[in-house]
Structures are given as C-alpha cells and as structure tokens.
Amino acid sequence: MIKDFEHFAPKTLKEALALLDKYQDDCKVICGGQSLLILMRQGLVAPPYMIDIKGISELSYIKDEKDGLKIGATTTHRAIEKSPVIKKKYPVLAKMETRLASIQTRNWGTIGGNVCHGDPAGDPLPVLIALGATLTMAGSKGKRSMPAEDFCLDYFETALEPVELLTEIALPIVPPNSGTAYTKFNVIESDLATVGVAVSVTLGAGDSCQDIRIVLGASAPTPMRPKKAEAVLKGKKITDALLAQAGETAATEADPISDIYASEEYRRELIKVLVPRLTREAMANAKKA
C-alpha cells in the first residue's frame, strides 16, 4: 500500500521548480513512476508531497540539431525506440530501448526518470555515457550541465540537488569511423541487467583504436568506466590478446556485488567475456559507419 501524499501536477518547468523550492527534501519528483512506484509500494520511499512532471510537455521532445541530438527528460522510452532520427544516427540507443523492461513500461516510463533513479543496473546510462552524453539540470536559480558519467554518485544517488530537475540529455555528433554497441546479460529477456556493457570505439589509421569508452552497468555502485581497461586498447592496433587483457583488466577494476541473480565472481567473469565481445561489435559498427 502506498502511503498518502499530496499531489501536484505542474504544467510548466517554472511551476515545477517553484514547487521544488518550496518542498525540497519533503517532496519526490514522479514522471512515469515505473521505478518509483515499485519502491513506494514497498514503503522504501514515502514522500509527503509528490511533484508530478509527467504533464510538462515542454520537456518531451527529440530534436536533431547542428551540434547533436537533444532529448527532453520526459520523453518516453518508446518515443526514443521508435524515433527515425535516433534509429538512423544513434541505433545503439534505439536498440537498447527495445530490451528495456516491457512495451507497457516503455510506453509510460521516461528516459529522464530512468536516469534520475540512479540504478546501476539501468540500461540507458551505460549507453549515454558511451556516447558522451551531457545532462542538463535546471533549478529556479539557473541551469547547469555535466557529463553523464559524473551524474551517479552511489547506489540510487545522483548529483541532482533536491531543488533541481533533469531537463535535457544532449548527445554529441558521432565522430567519423565510430561505432557503439551495448548488451546486457540477464536470464529473463527484458529484465534488468545482471551485467551490462557498452563500448564506443573510434578507429584511426589502419583500424587502430584511436579512442574508446567502455562502460559497465550493474558492476559497481554506479555505472562505471574501467579506465585501465580502456588504456590497454587506446592507441593500439586491436588484437585478440589485447582484447582478452582489456576484459581481464575491466573485471578487476569493477566492484560488483553478489545477489540473487549472480555472485560477485560470476559478474566479474561476465565482464571478462563481454568487454572483448562488445568491443569487437563496436569496431564492426565503426567499420560500417
């Protein structure tokens, strides 16, 4: 049973920010609520006030601009999955969405809500980090932006202040000769990741690895980049031996937990296997680009 709360449904960002200023730590923002309502039903979250931003239409958009793609925070997963421009320019993002929960959840749940939930097993953040996304937050005193990889601080904790709302996710234009790939390992298709891995590669002369971003999901308290593993590959001509070494390194750098889905050891093994596999897939995508 969900505890009683007072419900506000602001129609504009300005109204929402004014309510956040007023209620601060006593309120919780809800958009699609696909993650939050589960926690509320378990009594883990019981705010006296709810600021419902589902109806703020000014935050629901996908814009293809000169400097990249802009996604409004209240855009649903399903809108992203079906967007022709995303399918064309950021196919990895559309593909990730098709494996996020179920169609029903994607129809109502939003990308901003998922990101702000700060679940290290969530699907969008590893892909957004691999693509070099920037997040913009608004408060009544102004806006600020940060790289998506700096957003999560700990399990379900983000850099968002109580008086701020996530407003936009910006994706830079994909550089030439670049490819990205994402997968998650799980037992039930469309369940949360047991381990998720996103890799973005930019190829240089002779198919050497000019730049690489590896992002691990469900492998640490936040989505994380195993930077030592990236360093193993960066600037090198990628070989099977180097890929294996990168996988081993990433598995050591990760800080996974044991739970009912997998032991810590098993998660490390998955990372060891998936990092080389996804790097190969990202390279193949880069060659097709």
Which residues here bind other proteins, judged by CB under 8 A? Answer: 1-7, 9, 30, 33-34, 37-38, 41, 50, 52, 54, 78, 98, 101-105, 107-108, 189-190
Write down the least CB distance from residue 51 to other proteins, Å: 12
Write down the least CB distance from residue 150 to other proteins, Å: 30
Q: Quick one: 30 or 238, whose CB is closer to other proteins?
A: 30
Q: Quick one: 107 or 245, whose CB is closer to other proteins?
A: 107
Q: What is the dihedral of CA 104, 109, 110, 111, to 10 degrees?
A: -80
Write down the least CB distance from residue 34 to other proteins, Å: 6
Write down the least CB distance from residue 190 to other proteins, Å: 6
Counting every residue, how long is the chain? Answer: 289
Q: Quick one: 78 or 268, whose CB is closer to other proteins?
A: 78
Write down the least CB distance from residue 80 to other proteins, Å: 14
- Give backbone dihedrals phi and psi of 201, rounded to 5 degrees, phi first: -125, 140
Q: Quick one: 140 or 190, whose CB is closer to other proteins?
A: 190
Q: Quick one: 156 or 280, whose CB is closer to other proteins?
A: 156
Q: Quick one: 8 or 156, whose CB is closer to other proteins?
A: 8
Q: Which residues contact 8 (CB under 8 A, 6 or more apart)?
A: 19, 49, 50, 51, 52
Q: Quick one: 104 or 258, whose CB is closer to other proteins?
A: 104
Q: Quick one: 105 or 245, whose CB is closer to other proteins?
A: 105
User: Which two three-digit tokens encode residue 74?
Assistant: 């209240």
Write down the least CB distance from residue 102 to other proteins, Å: 2
Give one DSSP letter per residue of the chain, joined into a string.
-PPP-EEE--SSHHHHHHHHHHHGGGEEEESS-TTHHHHHHTTS---SEEEE-TT-GGG--EEEETTEEEEETT-BHHHHHH-HHHHHH-HHHHHHHHTSS-HHHHHH-BHHHHHHHT-TT-SHHHHHHHTT-EEEEEETTEEEEEEGGGSEEETTEES--TT-EEEEEEEPPPPTTEEEEEEEE-SSTTS--SEEEEEEEEE-GGGBEEEEEEEEESSSSS-B--HHHHHHHTTSB--HHHHHHHHHHHHHH------SS--HHHHHHHHHHHHHHHHHHHHHHHHH-
Write down the least CB distance from residue 163 to other proteins, Å: 22
Write down the least CB distance from residue 155 to other proteins, Å: 20
